[in-house]
Amino acid sequence: MDKIRLLSKKDRESYLLLYSILGFVPDDISLYRLAMTHSSSASGARKLGCNERLEFLGDAVLSSVTADFLYSNFRKEREGFLTNTRSKIVSRESLNRLAEQIGLLKLIKFNARQSAHNSYMGGNAFEALVGAIYLDRGYDYCKYFMEERIIGQ
């Protein structure tokens, strides 16, 4: 928490909001900044400086963590139930609602003019956040985050 005191007021507020969402202090804050940078705020060669690659990674990790949770907690259910339930949990609509509920939308950096057509920005940012957690802390923290901070809530 000493790191937080050294930040500017605006950065400190963002960092504290991120901490309240995650439930832990990130080791590599740059991953989380990248996760919250929508492609509309980057252009040309800077497109690699947006959250799309983390979104790709986070999508796969989120699916895996969700499957792991369902498999462990619904031992008597068949494959069809598990697949349908996972699909509902990781659907774009569910992730968008989730991003709004946990306050993630307040952290996303975007160009309003260019991103107006993107109704999935929150869900995409949530996937990128999971990708950042995975790179920063590994699979077990992703699992903790999902089970304790998301599913448990």
Examine the pLDDT at 85 and tell me if it is beyond 70: yes
CA-nearest of 101, 37, 139, 24 to 15 is 24
Euclidean distance between the first and the last CA atom of the chain, given in angstroms as a whole number? 24
* pTM of the entire predicted model: 0.86
Q: Is the pLDDT of residue 123 over 70?
A: yes
Cα dist from 19 to 35, 41, 60, 131, 145, whole Å:
14, 23, 23, 16, 12
Could you count the other beta carbons within 10 Å of the beta carbon of residue 104? 24
Q: What is the pLDDT of residues 93-121, one digit of tens each?
A: 999 999 999 999 999 988 766 555 567 89
Burial class (CB in 10 A: 0-12, 13-18, 19+), 51: buried
State the Cα–Cα distance between residues 136 and 127, nearest whole angstrom: 14
Average pLDDT of the residues in 140-152: 90
Active site residues: 59, 127
Of 144, 106, 112, nearest in space to 125 by CA: 106
Please name the amino acid found at residue 18: L
